């Protein structure tokens, strides 16, 4: 029988914006980083210092949390590699980045972001609903950033293009505590 997961085994892979965004989103990222550290968990991130990605990692470290960043060599300058990370993994391709982020994570948490965030979220969400992994996939959306997307996905369930089961594989939370509770094993 495999042992019960310990606090040290919990690693939350956070997907979020890498572009300049309004302050309230940076504050949200910092709150998530603090929350991860308070629980004694590890943060897995895209390994950049920019925007929300940087905020979440800095806040996690300020709180004493461990941070792992995975960044493609081609983005080391553009996304300003997070050299303060406890572990900074520099890879060659985006696919390797996503693979290593997955491998280090026990849960996935998407915050407000753009198309890169959506791409990452959809991959772990779709692979969860077809049963390729059983890690929680959580979307934290306190201000309706994803409202249009979620409404459209509901329409897809109505017309049969998406199953109810697939939509239920994504946990949608509106505050940080609820989102992190959903990431717990
Ligand atoms: P964005 O939401 O567009 O600001 O992007 C958020 C993060 O997703 C950035 O760190 C991007 O480098 C990353 N990203 C964009 N496309 C991909 C992809 N295909 N695979 C993995 N990460 C990606």
Higher per-residue pLDDT: 149 or 185: 149
pLDDT band at 9 (very low <50, low <70, confident <90, very high): confident
Cβ–ligand 1 distance for 113 under 6 Å, the answer yes
Cβ–ligand 1 distance for 69 under 6 Å, the answer no
Ligand 1 pocket, mutate which of 14, 15, 17, 18 (most atoms under 8 A from CB)? 18
CA angle 67, 119, 41 (to 5 degrees): 20
Kindly tell me if the per-residue pLDDT of 185 is higher than 60. yes
DSSP output for 29-49: HHHHHHHHHHTTPEEEE--B-
Kindly tell me if the per-residue pLDDT of 101 is higher than 90. yes
Kindly tell me if the per-residue pLDDT of 140 is higher than 90. yes
Q: Which long-range contacts (CB under 8 A, 24 or more apart) does 95-103 make?
A: 96/72, 97/46, 97/47, 97/70, 97/71, 97/72, 98/123, 100/70, 101/13, 101/44, 101/45, 101/46, 101/70, 102/13, 102/133
How many residues does the structure list for the chain? 185
What is the overall mean pLDDT for the chain? Answer: 96
The kind and range of the H/E element at 87 are strand 87-91
The pLDDT value given to residue 1 = 47
The kind and range of the H/E element at 139 are strand 137-140
Q: What is the pLDDT of residues 69-100, one digit of tens each?
A: 999 999 999 999 999 999 999 999 999 999 99
Q: Whose CA is nearest to atom 17 of ligand 1?
A: 116
β 11-15/66-72 pair status = unpaired
46 CA closest ligand 1 atom index = 10
Q: What is the pLDDT of residues 149-168, one digit of tens each?
A: 999 999 999 999 999 999 99
Cβ–ligand 1 distance for 169 under 6 Å, the answer no
pLDDT band at 3 (very low <50, low <70, confident <90, very high): low
Domains of the chain (ranges; CATH) run 7-183 (3.40.50.450)
114 CA closest ligand 1 atom index = 2
Kindly tell me if the per-residue pLDDT of 115 is higher than 80. yes
19 CA closest ligand 1 atom index = 4
């Amino acid at each position: 029988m495999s042992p019960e997961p310990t606090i040290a085994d919990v690693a939350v892979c956070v997907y979020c914006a890498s572009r300049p965004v309004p302050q309230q989103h940076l504050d949200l990222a910092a709150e998530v980083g603090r929350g991860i550290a308070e629980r004694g968990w590890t943060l897995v991130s895209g390994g950049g210092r920019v925007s929300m990605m940087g905020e979440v990692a800095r806040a996690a470290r300020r709180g004493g949390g461990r941070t792992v960043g995975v960044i493609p060599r081609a983005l080391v300058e553009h996304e300003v590699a997070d050299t303060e990370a406890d572990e900074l993994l520099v890879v060659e391709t985006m696919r390797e980045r996503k693979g290593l982020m997955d491998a280090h994570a026990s849960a996935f948490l998407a915050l407000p972001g753009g198309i890169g965030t959506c791409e990452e979220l959809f991959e772990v969400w779709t692979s969860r609903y077809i049963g390729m992994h059983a890690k929680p996939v959580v979307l934290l959306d306190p201000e309706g950033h994803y409202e249009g997307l979620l409404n459209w996905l509901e329409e897809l369930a109505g017309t049969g293009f998406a199953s109810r089961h697939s939509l239920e594989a994504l946990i949608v939370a509106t505050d940080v505590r609820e989102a992190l509770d959903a990431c717990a094993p």
